[in-house]
Amino acid sequence: MSKMAIKGIGIDASAPRLDGNLEILEKDLDFFERCGFDYVEIPVHGVDVVVGGRLNERRAAQVRRILAGFDLKYTVHLPDPLNLFDVERLNLHKEIFLAGMEFANSIGAEVVVYHGGAINASNEDLKLPLENFKAIEREVLIELAEVAAPLGIKIGVENAGPDSYSARLNELIEQVQEINSPNVGITLDFGHAYLTAHLFGFDFIGAIREAAPYAIHLHVHDNFGQTMPFEMPQIFHVSFGNGDLHMPPGWGEIPYDEVFSFLSTPPVVLLLEIRPRYMDQFKEVLKEARRLASLASSNE
């Protein structure tokens, strides 16, 4: 009989909701613990523990004291714009990454989440081939993995938005395979994968099957697979069913029962990335996450 693939269920501490306010952090952690979550994902940019590329030790100590007051385990999310494709400012991005790992180590976090590199306004004027950018990212992640290994930290490269190579899961799998480190895997974000599968026309279920063995962390949230045809304020997104909605599983169209019925990964955290607007639903969301977790198996 195989072990269950899901070793715990977590929830993200929303960076926009926190906005550096540690009183909100403490209040939310208390709520998460009372709901019954096992893990909470801490965004370094939501609590200001990394400032100017350096660990703000005084601030980190404040955060550690708060986290230690709860019977919870933690993972860490690095800033979304951290981009190892930003070659002209690469040293700054590496410093932020290293400071984030230092903080993660100080709170006993098991996973640090990094969005796969992107070609955007920070680097598109360089007009380098994609493979050059990917080679640079590989080199840096191999170096960072050597730092992470003795700390017991794994780096989860998340499949990100359409400006990132990682949006195509086959390319992210290839990148992780080439890095070939036990401390670098995939943060498999089902919501992002569902959107980009529709956008780029790849098979969502097939891509998840291929990526699952490389997953070290899961991000679970729901949407309708529809990208925005035009810009509108976020408050209207749910009504139109457009964009990266971060709704509770079951509110959108992602076939989670099918996914978790075949999902076979190393033991991972099922981390719910749900917008704070749904906090009144979190107890029900946790029940649904536990049901999905019971469908999954381990490949170890």
Domain of 30: which CATH number? Answer: 3.20.20.150
Question: Would you tell me the crossing angle of helices 169-179 and 204-211 to the nearest 10 degrees?
Answer: 10
Q: State the Cα angle at 226 between 222 and 227, rounded to 5°.
A: 115
Does residue 1 lie in a domain region?
Answer: no
Token couple for 286:
């946790």
Query: How confident is the model over 222-266, as pLDDT tens digits?
Result: 999 998 777 889 899 999 999 999 999 999 999 999 999 999 888
Gyration radius from the chain CA atoms = 18
Q: Smallest Cα–Cα separation from 107: which of 142, 77, 141?
A: 77
d(CA 201, CA 7): 32
Query: How confident is the model over 130-171, as pLDDT tens digits?
Result: 999 999 999 999 999 999 999 999 999 999 999 999 999 999
Does residue 176 lie in a domain region?
Answer: yes
Total domains present in the chain:
1
Does residue 152 lie in a domain region?
Answer: yes
DSSP 159: P
Does residue 224 lie in a domain region?
Answer: yes
Q: How many CB atoms lie within 10 A of CB 4?
A: 13
Domain range for 277: 6-298
Q: Are 137 and 175 in contact (CB under 8 A)?
A: yes
Does residue 197 lie in a domain region?
Answer: yes
Does residue 112 lie in a domain region?
Answer: yes
